[in-house]
Amino acid sequence: MEVGRQPAELSKEQREQLHRAHQRLRNTSHALEALTVVEPVRGRWVAAPAPDEALEAAQNDLYNAWQEFWRVHQELLRCDLPPGVLGE
């Protein structure tokens, strides 16, 4: 992936936009992880699986955050995306 612009060249607002895209992707990833990776804790109850609707919503949120992440990178850093990143 080639980057046409360096982060240092961005305005404060653009850097904040890039930060928000990274943060949203991180948060949605953590939310999905919380629903799917439940470690048993000795002496505690066994966690019930997350409802299908919750998993689907978390997966959709992650997918949307992923698309936004790459869209912002492409727009602000003028980078070429790796082939297939957005399912194209």
Q: How far apart are CA 6 and CA 4, in angstroms?
A: 7
User: One digit per residue, pLDDT tens: the chain, 88 residues?
Assistant: 566 788 888 999 999 999 999 999 999 999 999 998 877 777 777 777 889 999 999 999 999 999 999 999 889 988 877 777 656 5
The residue ranges of every structural domain in the chain are 7-34+51-77
For residue 58, what are the CA distances in angstroms to 27, 34, 53, 77? 10, 10, 9, 28
One-letter amino acid of 29:
S
CB neighbour list of residue 16: distance below 8 Å, 6 or more residues apart: none
Is the entire prediction scored with pTM above 0.85?
no
